[in-house]
Amino acid sequence: MKLLGSERLFFADKMKKTNMYEWTQERTLVITDENIYNIHKKEIKRAIAIKDVSALVKCVPPSKCLTEFTI
């Protein structure tokens, strides 16, 4: 799977994605200097260009879901 090419890797880790029905699915989140990737098994499900990201929101106290974030 060609992912990075000339991109520099900043972060990669397994996460749980929650859909609108509250079902969770394991994904690998990869952040490079150019894109954010949502990977399931060896398939890129979504790639978002960093230049297109307008906000990143993380839950903070007093929220009960401190591990969630939205791009």
**Measured at the alpha carbon of residue 49, what is the angle toward residues 43 and 53, in degrees to the nearest 5?**
120
pLDDT computed for residue 2 by the predictor: 52
Query: What pTM was computed for the model?
Result: 0.76
Reduced to 3 states (helix: H, G, I; strand: E, B; else coil), residue 42 is coil
Cα–Cα distances in Å, from 24 out to 6, 11, 52?
Answer: 32, 21, 26
Q: Dump pLDDT digits (tens) for 26-55.
A: 999 999 999 999 999 989 999 999 999 998
- Are residues 39 and 66 in contact, defined by beta-carbon separation less than 8 angstroms? no
**Structural element, H or E, at residue 15:** strand 9-18
pLDDT score of 18 more than 70: yes
pLDDT computed for residue 1 by the predictor: 46
